[in-house]
């Protein structure tokens, strides 16, 4: 009778003791982080990893290898992540060479059609502020898209396949390197009234003497109390020498190329008239050419 009154509490007690033993064991032998993959890195370490990938890419020009390494980080949108990091690094102004390397790698990836597809305009709305055209289509990597020469990543840590020596890829940055020579001059400055551009932009197009668009040119925009730097070519679908910046109303901007040349003063978002008579803020298009 007495034991029946106790009921099954002893079982619960045993269970609790078991759980306590398990927890104590876990605390006595805590998880030791070893054999992790780059995908598990903290965000700032991932940034540094990406920077190193870009620096190595600048050295060896092997885009296949760079892509294989970037895949290890398992970024959802490699192109955008690289572009945004390039802009961030540029804004920090500590390591301009690294910013440039990141930007050029992003451009090279943007030029690689097999892994890139156009995103829907809705996706584009999630783009970063300021130096991105929120109304313009952006590039995203296609999940699961076949990648020539780059085997799918596996959970097991494996040496990036592209480290195999014979897979040298012609250096895409050969075309992404800004032309050396005379400074660029402003050939054309025009107001753009296009209703499909939802926000007023400063659109910059840089061309060399041969009329080819030049990626990787650093553009500096200043206004009262602020400055922004960005590169051409980070929206390759709009041209390798293209870059844009979203203007705020009633703010006067000054734009110049970091490589030198005359600054363009007093750029203010001006009103345009729509077909239905309504008014909206237009954009500016600046075309720089090398004489």
Which residues sit at the interface with another protein, rule CB under 8 A? 3, 10-19, 21-23, 26, 31, 33-38, 40-43, 45, 48-49, 52-53, 55-56, 58-60, 69, 72, 97, 157-160, 163-166
Displacement of CA 279 from its chain's centroid (Å): 33
Question: Which of 250, 243, 246 is closest to 270 using CA atoms?
Answer: 250
Which has the closest alpha carbon to 241: 203, 276, 214?
Answer: 214
Distance CA 51, CA 59 (A): 12
Task: Give the distance from CA 83 to its chain's centroid.
Answer: 2
Burial status of residue 92 (CB atoms within 10 A of its CB: 0-12, 13-18, 19 or more): exposed
CB of residue 91 to another protein, shortest distance in Å: 20
**In whole angstroms, how close is the CB of 278 to another protein at the nearest point?**
49
Nearer to another protein (CB atom), residue 52 or residue 252: 52
Please report how close the Cβ of residue 246 comes to another protein at its closest, in angstroms: 33
In the complex, minimum distance from the CB of residue 93 to another protein, in angstroms, rounded to a whole number:
17
- What angle separates helix 78-92 from helix 43-60, to the nearest 10 degrees? 90
- Nearest approach in angstroms of CB 150 to another protein is 14
Smaller CB separation from another protein, 53 or 264: 53
Q: Kindly tell me which of 22 and 114 has the beta carbon lying closer to another protein.
A: 22
Which residues lie below 8 Å from residue 224, measured CB to CB, with a gap of 6+?
A: 251, 252
């Amino acid at each position: 009778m007495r034991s029946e009154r106790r009921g099954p509490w002893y079982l619960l007690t045993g269970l609790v003791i078991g759980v306590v033993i398990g927890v104590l064991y876990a605390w006595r032998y805590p998880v030791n982080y070893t054999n992790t993959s780059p995908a598990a890195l903290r965000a700032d370490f991932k940034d540094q990893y990406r920077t190193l990938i870009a620096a190595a890419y600048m050295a060896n020009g092997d885009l296949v290898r760079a892509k294989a390494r970037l895949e290890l980080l398992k970024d959802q949108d490699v192109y955008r992540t690289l572009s945004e990091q390039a802009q961030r690094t540029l804004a920090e102004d500590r390591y301009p060479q690294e910013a440039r390397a990141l930007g050029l790698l992003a451009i090279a990836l943007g030029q690689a059609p097999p892994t890139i597809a156009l995103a829907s305009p809705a996706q584009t709305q999630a783009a970063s502020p300021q130096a991105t055209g929120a109304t313009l289509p952006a590039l995203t990597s296609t999940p699961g898209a076949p990648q020539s020469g780059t085997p799918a990543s596996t959970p097991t840590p494996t040496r990036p396949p592209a480290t195999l020596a014979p897979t040298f890829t012609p250096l895409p940055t050969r075309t992404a390197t800004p032309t050396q020579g005379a400074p660029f001059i402003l050939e054309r400055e025009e107001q753009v009234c296009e209703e499909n551009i939802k926000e007023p932009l400063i659109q910059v197009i840089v061309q060399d003497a041969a009329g080819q668009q030049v990626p990787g040119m650093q553009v500096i925009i200043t206004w009262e109390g602020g400055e922004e730097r960005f590169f051409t070519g980070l929206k390759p679908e709009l041209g390798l020498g293209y870059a844009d910046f979203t203007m705020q109303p009633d703010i006067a901007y000054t734009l110049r190329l970091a490589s030198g040349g005359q600054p363009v003063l007093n750029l203010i978002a001006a009103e345009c008239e729509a077909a239905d008579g309504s008014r909206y803020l237009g954009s500016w298009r600046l075309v720089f050419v090398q004489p």
